[in-house]
Amino acid sequence: MHKIVKDYYGKTLQSSADLKTSACCDSSTMPAWLKPLLARIHPEVLSRYYGCGLVCPSLLEGCRVLDLGCGSGRDVYALAQLAGPKGEVVGVDMTDEQLEVAKGHQDWHSEAFGFDNVRFIKGYIEKLDELNLEPGSFDVIVSNCVINLSPDKAAVLEGVHSLLKPGGEFYFSDVYSDRRVPDAVREDPVMYGECLGGALYWNDFLQLSKDAGFADPRLVEHRPLEITDDALALKAGNLRFFSATYRLFRDDELESACEDYGQAVIYHGTIPDNPHRFILDEHHVIETGRVFPVCGNTWRMLKDTRFADHFTFIGDFDHHFGIFKGCGSSMPFNESAPVESLPSPLSASGVVLASPAPAAKGGSCC
Ligand SMILES: C[S@@+](CC[C@H](N)C(=O)[O-])C[C@H]1O[C@@H](n2cnc3c(N)ncnc32)[C@H](O)[C@@H]1O
Residue nearest to atom 25 of ligand 1 (CA): 95
Closest CA to 215 of 179, 267, 170, 174: 170
Q: Which of 83-87, 189-193, 265-269 has the lowest mean pLDDT?
A: 189-193
Give the confidence band of 23 by pLDDT, cuts at 50, 70, 90: low
Cβ–ligand 1 distance for 93 under 6 Å, the answer: yes
Closest atom of ligand 1 relative to the 156 alpha carbon? 19
Output b/e per residue, 285-319; b: 16+ Cβ within 10 A: bbebeeebbbbbbbbbbbbbbbbeebbeeeeeeee
For the chain, the average pLDDT equals 89
Q: How many separate helices (H) and strands (E) can be counted in the chain?
A: 13, 14
Mean pLDDT of 52-56: 89
Residue 176, ligand 1, Cβ within 6 A: no
Calculate the CA 289 to chain-centre distance.
28
Task: Give the residue from 74, 359, 100 showing the smallest Cα distance to 222.
Answer: 359
Give the pLDDT confidence score for residue 328 in this predicted structure.
61
> What percentage of the chain exceeds 70 in pLDDT?
87
Mutate which of 24, 44, 94 for ligand 1 pocket (most atoms within 8 A of beta carbon): 94
3-state secondary structure 295-317: CHHHHHHHHCCCCHHHEEEECCC
Q: Residue 179 Cα, ligand 1 centroid: separation in angstroms?
A: 23
Residue nearest to atom 10 of ligand 1 (CA): 146
Question: Is there an atom of ligand 1 within 6 Å of 75 CB?
Answer: yes
Q: How far is the CA of 1 from the centre of ligand 1 (A)?
A: 12
pLDDT on residue 33? 86
Nearest-CA residue for ligand 1 atom 20 is 124
Beta strand spans in 13-117 (E) = 64-68, 88-93
C-beta separation of 346 from 25 below 8 A = yes
Nearest CA to ligand 1 atom 14: 69
Pair 202, 333: CB distance under 8 Å: yes
Return the ligand 1 atom nearest residue 48 CA.
9
Radius of gyration of the chain (CA): 20
Contact 128/163 with Cβ under 8 angstroms?
A: yes
How many Cβ atoms from other residues are within 10 Å of residue 276's Cβ?
10
The pLDDT of 311-324, averaged and rounded, is 96
Question: Which of 96, 145, 146 is the pocket-test mutation for ligand 1 (most atoms within 8 Å of CB)?
Answer: 146
Confidence of residue 346 (pLDDT cuts 50, 70, 90): very low
Q: What DSSP element (H or E) covers 266?
A: strand 263-267
Indicate whether 37 pLDDT > 50: yes
What is the reported pLDDT for 90?
98
Q: Which residue has a Cα nearest atom 13 of ligand 1?
A: 69
Q: What is the pLDDT of residues 173-186, one digit of tens each?
A: 999 999 999 999 99
Best of 5, 66, 174, 194 for a ligand 1 pocket test (most atoms within 8 Å of beta carbon): 5
Q: Is 194 in the pocket of ligand 1 (CB under 6 A)?
A: no
Where are the domains positioned within the chain? 2-254+328-353, 263-314
Span 118-152, pLDDT tens digits: 999 999 999 999 999 999 999 999 999 999 999 99
Q: Is 146 in the pocket of ligand 1 (CB under 6 A)?
A: yes
Ligand 1 pocket residue status of 69, Cβ below 6 Å = yes
Q: Are 306 and 271 in contact (CB under 8 A)?
A: no
Residue 199 DSSP one-character state? P
Considering the segment(s) 2-254+328-353 as one domain, its CATH architecture is: 3-Layer(aba) Sandwich (3.40)
Give the pLDDT score at 365.
44
Ligand 1 and 74: CB distance under 6 A = yes
Ramachandran area for residue 353 (φ above 0: left; ψ -120 to 50: alpha; else beta):
beta
Per-residue pLDDT tens digits for 323-340: 998 776 678 888 766 554
Q: Is the pLDDT of residue 87 over 80?
A: yes
pTM of the model: 0.90
User: What does the DSSP assignment read for 5-43?
Assistant: HHHIIIII-SSGGG-SSSTTS--SPPPTTHHHHHHTS-H
CA distance 347 to 362: 34
Residues 220-230: tens digit of each pLDDT: 999 999 887 88
The half-sphere exposure of 253 on its side-chain side, counting CA atoms within 13 A, is 14
176 by DSSP, 3-state: which?
Answer: strand
Q: Strand pairing of 88-93 and 64-68? A: parallel
pLDDT of 272 strictly over 50: yes
CA of 71 to the centre of ligand 1 (A): 5
DSSP-derived 3-state class of residue 214:
coil
What is the distance in A from the centroid of ligand 1 to the CA of 193? 10
Q: How many whole angstroms separate alpha carbon 348 and alpha carbon 18? A: 12
Above 80 in pLDDT, residue 240? yes
Is the pLDDT higher at 351 or at 157? 157
124 touches ligand 1 (CB under 6 Å)? yes
Contacts of 124 (CB under 8 A, 6+ apart): 2, 94, 130
Task: Kindly state if the Cβ of 150 falls inside 6 Å of ligand 1.
Answer: yes
